[in-house]
Amino acid sequence: MSASTAFAGLALTVALAVLTWLASLRHDDVSLVDRVWALLIVGAGWVYALLTPDVGARGFWMLALGSAWALRLALFITWRNWGHGEERRYQAIRERNQPGYRFKSLYLVFLLQAVLAWVVSAPFLPGVAAAPPLNVLDCVGFALAAFGIVFEAIGDAQMARFKADPAHKGQVMDRGLWRYTRHPNYFGEACIWWGLWLAALAGAGWAGAWSIVSPLLMTVLLLKVSGVKLLEKDIAERRPAYRDYIARINAFVPGPVRGGGKRPAP
């Protein structure tokens, strides 16, 4: 893969991010970026494939899994956020960066997301061009990625059903997958990118090992930046029952329930 192919992927993520920024100006809603985040990543992957003369079975399966993940996540976030306006975390960013936030958001949010998405797309770059036939490591990677897609989707569906029931208002979701990890959606997403990296490694060998930057970055984002850390920053203060949930349930990797698995009395 040439540098020009890589930068073509970056050009796409930047173009889509700028278009989303323009839409956000009309709606005063920077959180629109969340709806296109997954599409930025897989869009770069499709650019690499279109610029590759011969995409084999490995590239096909990588793009199929990546596209399935991106389409589901984009549709789910759009449905979940529809009609609710700008998310609270983006409102906080807006307040911190006044005056002139409408322009500042272009580079503080949208162009930053475009670059991050481009980095996360890294496994597609060596993977879609790798010529060797599929091997055991590919199968492990595809299985891990498929597991991650299903795990994330189940977690999102369980949480959506929980929130849709008025009887659960004010309660903490600790059922289904959420009984074993506080963030099954984030854990599933990390599995997807570690799996796709394994496929890139299987096809390109050490020439594709550098693309480990993708799962590493995604894992750091999910754990330390925009995922677990940001989401739980003040949630225990707003919802005291969540402190007990933290004490009983692993933050990321699924594990046994601590403290005998009993929920506190209401």
What amino acid occupies position 41?
A: I
Report if residue 110 sits inside a domain.
Answer: yes
**What local confidence, expressed as pLDDT, does residue 235 receive?**
78
Is 151 strand, coil or helix?
helix
Of 118-122, 163-167, 230-234, the range with the lowest mean pLDDT is 230-234
Across the chain, mean pLDDT equals 91
Residue 266 belongs to some domain of the structure:
no
pLDDT in tens, 47-60: 999 999 889 999 99
Domain that holds residue 129: 3-261
The pLDDT of residue 1 is 60
Of the candidate ranges 37-46, 111-120, 198-207, 218-227, the one whose mean pLDDT is the lowest: 218-227
Is residue 210, in this structure, part of any structural domain at all? yes
Query: Cα(first)–Cα(last) distance of the chain, in Å?
Result: 58
Q: Is residue 120 part of a domain?
A: yes
Q: What is the pTM of this model?
A: 0.91
Q: Are 181 and 254 in contact (CB under 8 A)?
A: yes
Q: What is the pLDDT of residues 97-151, one digit of tens each?
A: 999 999 999 999 999 999 999 999 999 999 999 989 999 999 999 999 999 999 9
The residue to which tokens 């594990």 are assigned: 255
Say what the pLDDT of residue 236 is. 66
With respect to residue 119, please indicate whether it lies within any of the assigned structural domains.
Answer: yes
Say what the pLDDT of residue 262 is.
Answer: 53
The tally of domains found in the chain comes to 1
